[in-house]
Every structure is written in structure tokens, then in C-alpha cells.
A and B are shown apart, each in its own frame.
Chain A
Amino acid sequence: MSESGNMTEHEVTMPKADPNDPYALPALMPSSADRAPRSFSPDAFKMPTRRQEDWRFTPVDRIEEFFQLFEASGATKVTVSSIDGSALSDSQVDVRRVAKDVAPSGTVSKPNDRASSVEWASAKDALVVQIHQDTEVPVLITVTGGGLDLDALHLVIEVDDRVHADVVIEHQGQARLAEGVEITTGEQSHVSTTFIHEWTHDSKHVGNHRIHVGKEASLRHSVVTLSGDVVRIRMDQDFGGAQGDLNMLGIYFVDPGEHMEHRTMVVHNHPECKSRVVYKGALEGKNAHSTWVGNAMILPTAPGTDSYELNRNLVLTPGAVADSEPNLEIENGNIIGAGHASSVGRFDDEELFYLQSRGVPEAEARKLVVRGFFGELVEEIGIPSISGHLMATIDRRLAKGETEDMQHVLEGN
């Protein structure tokens, strides 16, 4: 991307707002960013209720324990390896536990709600995974839940300048986990992070990702949430310089009674950055509930912004509820684009009939349609070992409750 000698520096001079005529310069009117508190101290945040905008869709009574400082069980197991099992060298990937207030831990913004500040305050230390060299095969971080005693995990992923790295973070087992993730990528780095949440059906997971994309760097941040009683992930991001490229992809699969919530908060604070957010979910059965809230804020300092966000929901059976809310806050008129799309659709009986009329049995036809719904998104993840792994995970998820024969057919596909 970089062509030396051909770079232009952008200087942004901020005009002064006139308090007597605020509409003359709408970009200088107060923005939601000015009001949103950021603090490491839980006391800085009110106790969440459903009357608060950020918690409007969340069943707060089911995750109350995440709002009070707690004694972390320390039972969560974390391992770091390469995805094919080969050894990682220290010069390539440095894995270390540090006190949580030792950099790079605690450097990517600050907690932004009660749950994330409680996670910070309750976590005993931080696990830092620092990537110094290109990864030939993706790095796999496995987080295995240690049961239903509340635990806190603080994970920091840092990638050096100009490094190409892929990281897969897999969550599994039974857990009640408050998780804070800081991701910071260097200048001109190209990074993908793929988070998979495949918890037991009684698990609860409240996560907070704070993401900083380096100057002229690209980050593909993917989240796949397949199971868990309550999973709520809030992701806040900003750019460290011009011409950053952020791609956020999400897939979720919600069973009866489960609540899965993903909040992507993209901030354009530098010129000529690009962001794409694409989240897709399928919901099945009574009281399956998903929430996607996509915020995109384009600050006065970000001319040439190109931003787009999309959320689609596929309701497979009646009784499920999908909330989908894109919010755009645009404080700069000099941009390439800021678009959004959002939909909640029922499973299409006509599609099903069409496939059936060609000899495909109903159960398999349903799977073809759901695979099709997610397939493009999975392919977009673009790394064969990751998308292959994901498609296999989705197939496994789709095959749940099927006969052995059908599982065989599906996995043979």
C-alpha cells in the first residue's frame, strides 16, 4: 500500500465553534463521544438498567453478577499454540503474563461500561500475546471455561509494525467469564483475529474488545458466536493514523432461550480510513434473542472516510426475536460514504419448496439455505484454515439434533 515519496500529510485545522450560533458548524456540536465515560474504576459507571441506552436490549437481570467487583476463580485455562500444533518460537510470538497495569495491558482506550470496568478491576493479571514476525499458520489461543464460578480474563494481543499475522481465539467449555480483550496493531500491519464462542448452553460470557488499528494497517476482526446462555460482546475501536482498514465480520447462531448480543462501535478519527461491518445471525425457537447494535462515528478529524455496516437476521422458526440497530453519527461532510443496512427475515418457505421440488429433502434443504446465508461471509474471512474450520463448526452446529445419517451427509458435503 505505501508508496514512499508519494505520501501526503493531512493537516486538520479545527475551526472554533461559536456558542451563539451552534448550527453554523454542526461538526463542533456536542457528540455522544463527549458524554460517554471511560474509566478503569467501576464507580464511574451507573449500575446498568434497561432504561439506559447501552443496556436497552440486554437481559441485565441474567448477568447481574458481572456488575459487582468479584473474586475471580482463576479456573479459566488459556493455551497458545499454532493452529496446526507446530511449535511457536519466542522470537515469533511472545506469550507472557504481566501485571494488568503494565503496558501494553491497559493502553488501548479504557473500559467503557460497568461490566468492562468490573472485569478490569477483578482480573488478577493480563495475558499478553505479542506477535513480532509474520505467522505462516494462524496462532491459536484456546480459552477453556473452568465452570460456573465467576472468572475474569484480560487478554492483550499486540502485533508489531509491518507484521502479517492471523490469530484464532477459541472459547469452549462451561464458563461464567468476564473477558477484556485489547487488540493493538502496528503501522502497515495486516492482521486477522477470529473469535469463536462455542460455550455450553448454561455458560455466560460478557466481553469487551478494545481495538486500535495502526496507521495504514488492516485488521479483519471476526466474531463467531455459536452457543451460550448469555453472550454479550461490546467492541470499541479507533484508528492510530490515516488509511487504516477495518473489516468486522460476525456470525451468530441463537438457540431457544439464549441471548446473544454484539455491539460494534467503530470510530473514524483519522483521514481516509475504511471500515466494513457485516454481521449475520440465524435464530431458532422460542425466546431466542439476538441483538446487534452497530455504531459508526465519523469525527471532524476524519475526512475521506468510507464506512458501511450491515446486519442480517434469519429467523428459522417462530418465537425468536432479533433486534438490529445501526447508528451513524457523522460529524464530517467530506467523506466517501457512510452506509448501513439491516434486516430481519423469516425462513423463506418458497426457497425451501424450490429445493425440495428438485429432490432435496426438507432437512437438507434447510441446511443448504442456512449454509448459503453464512457461506459468503465465511469465505470472506479468506484464510482457508480458518474458513474451513468455521464451516466445519457451523456444520457441526447445524447437525446438532440430527440423526447420525444426516450428520454423515452434511459432513460429507
Chain B
Amino acid sequence: MATLEIKDLYASVETKEGRKQILKGVNLTVNSNETHAIMGPNGSGKSTLAYTLAGHPKYQVDSGVALLDGEDILTMTPDERAKAGLFLAMQYPVEVPGVSMTNFLRTAKTEIDGKAPAIRQWTKDLSGAMKKLRMDAKFAQRSVNEGFSGGEKKRAEVLQLELLKPKFAVLDETDSGLDVDALRIVSEGVNRAKENTGLGIMMVTHYTRILKYIKPDIVHVFADGHFVKTGGPELADELEESGYDRYLPEGANSESALA
């Protein structure tokens, strides 16, 4: 049983026009085995929250903490956060030319576990996980994410989630760009990870589509840099009906929130 507690988190980003405050007092507690859906309009800061937790250098933490079992991960380097048990499935996974998936996965697994995996077990785990995600075995020999289609990239993210076995995963719009079949396969992978390891999930999404496959326990509305409403799965249905407009600051619409 693990807990991730985000307390009063403020973060900003450097832009051409100067420093811009994006996260404005984020509070959230996620426990093992819980699935939280984080929904909100474009530009509300959902992805910033995801990347700030993972430690992307572009985002600066101004105040607040994110305690993973009592330890503030915000003071750690990105690799230390991963070792502490945090995983970010990215919306746009990065291509790393010349580094094979198999070499990358084995290096990451060795770092996370603190020791190299036994080769026979590892080979079995890797090919088993790839099979379940309907990934061709040839994938392992290709460079990380290079030339992968959108759907292949998302499968590769979930493959890592299953193999690295983190305590908490932030899924940043993992549903975007997936057709119905791919969405189902990817969702099954996330559900397997939760079942096998008691993973706590923060699922950032615009749409309720993925919630049919990955059932949230708690649904949050995120707008203007913080959580504005929290409820059960029924809140997602309400958002599907009425949209995000009522959660936006006065005079704004979801387009201007992008600015």
C-alpha cells in the first residue's frame, strides 16, 4: 500500500513573454489500487501537472510538495523519481535513434530494480508482455519509438509500464490517437498492471471514451491550474453532457484557455 500526496503545488514555465504560472495550488491524494481520472479543457494545466511530477526541466516548481510514501519526489532528479516508483506514460513518446527497444528496456529495468534482471526470466517477461499487447517481436530490435505509429508508441509506453512495475502511473492522454481496437488493447494492459501490482493511476484525458475500458474510482475536474471539482464516475457522464464551460474562469472559453 503506497500513497502519493500532492500538496499545494504551484509550478510555472518560462515563456517568451516571461514566467507564466500554470499550476495554482494542486491538492490530490492517490492510493495504491485507485484510479483517478483527471479531466479538463485544453490549456488547463493537466499535462503540466503530469510533466511537473515526472521532473521535466521546462517546468519549475514554485512551492508545494509531492510526497510518495512521505518522500518529496519534487526534489529528486527524473531518474530518482522513476526509481521511487513514479511512471509517466507520455502523450508524445520521444524517439531515440540508434538505441534499440530491447537495450533500452533492459537498461531501464536494471536501473529501477538496482540489479540486472535474470536473462531467461527477462526474455520470457518481455516477449509475454509484447504478445499480450499484440506487438510484433521485431519491435524489440527497432530504435526506441523511431518510426512507430501513434498507436505503436502508446503500446510501447504501456509495455514499459507493465515491465517496470511502478507504484504510480500518470497516463497523459494515453487514449489520444488510438482507434477502438488499440484503445482496448492498451486499456487491458493498464488494467493488467493494476491487477498485478496494485498500481495507483492518474489518468489525464479530455474524453470519457477511455473510461469505458479503464474504470475510474474518482473523477476530478481540472481547470485554470487546480482541481475545481471531485466526484464519482458519474461526474464523467455529467462532463460528457455539459462540457467544461462552467468550470472555466468568467469570460473564458475552452479556446482562450489554450492561450
Contacts and interface: CB of A to CB of B under 8 A. Distances in A.
A350 interface: yes
B112 A362 contact: no
Contacts of B56: 353
Nearest to B54: A357
Contact of B160 (A353, A358, A374): A358
Given A354-B90, A355-B104, A360 B111 contact: yes
7 interchain residue pairs of minimum CB distance:
A372-B98, A359-B82, A356-B78, A359-B111, A354-B94, A372-B99, A358-B108
A368 interface: yes
B77 A372 contact: no
Contacts of A9: none
Contacts, number: 82
A376 interface: yes
B120 to A, nearest CB: 19
Nearest to B81: A357
Given A353-B78, A368-B107, A372-B143, A359 B83 contact: yes
B79 A359 contact: yes
Given A357-B88, A358-B164, A361-B111, A368 B55 contact: no
A374 B98 CA distance: 8
27 contacts: A351-B94, A351-B96, A353-B55, A354-B93, A354-B96, A355-B99, A356-B78, A356-B82, A357-B81, A357-B82, A357-B87, A357-B88, A358-B111, A358-B164, A359-B82, A359-B83, A359-B108, A359-B164, A360-B111, A362-B77, A365-B79, A368-B96, A369-B99, A372-B96, A372-B97, A374-B98, A375-B98
A359 B112 contact: yes
Given A368-B99, A371-B99, A358 B104 contact: yes
Given A351-B96, A364-B107, 8 more contacts: A354-B96, A356-B55, A356-B77, A357-B54, A368-B99, A368-B104, A369-B99, A372-B143
B177 interface: no
Contacts of A357: 54-55, 78-79, 81-82, 87-88, 90
Nearest to A372: B98
Q: Most chain-B CB neighbours within 10 Å: which of A359, A369, A372, A373?
A: A359
A361 B77 contact: yes
Contacts of A372: 96-99, 143
Interface of A: 348-351, 353-362, 364-365, 368-369, 371-376
A165 to B, nearest CB: 29
B57 interface: yes
B46 to A, nearest CB: 17
A348 B94 CA distance: 10
Contacts of A358: 79, 82, 104, 108, 111-112, 160, 164
Contacts of A375: 98-99
Contacts of B82: 356-359
Interface of B: 54-57, 77-79, 81-83, 87-88, 90, 93-99, 103-104, 107-108, 111-112, 143-144, 160, 164
Q: Most chain-B CB neighbours within 10 Å: which of A350, A355, A357, A365?
A: A357
B14 to A, nearest CB: 13
A355 B160 CA distance: 12
A357 B94 CA distance: 11
Contacts of A373: 97-98
A373 B108 CA distance: 19
Contacts of A371: 98-99
A361 B79 contact: yes
B20 to A, nearest CB: 19
A147 to B, nearest CB: 38
Nearest to A376: B98
Nearest to B116: A412
Contacts of B97: 372-373
Nearest to B111: A359
B100 to A, nearest CB: 8
A275 B36 CA distance: 57
B108 A360 contact: yes
Contacts of A365: 79
A360 B143 contact: no
Q: Most chain-B CB neighbours within 10 Å: which of A356, A358, A374?
A: A358
Contacts of A359: 79, 82-83, 108, 111-112, 164
Contacts of B104: 355, 358, 368
B134 to A, nearest CB: 22
Contacts of A350: 94
Contact of B79 (A351, A356, A369): A356
Contacts of A355: 96, 99, 104, 108
A362 B77 CA distance: 9
B185 to A, nearest CB: 21
A345 to B, nearest CB: 11
B79 A362 contact: yes
Contact of A349 (B57, B98, B160): B57
Nearest to A368: B99
Contact of B107 (A348, A353, A360, A376): A360
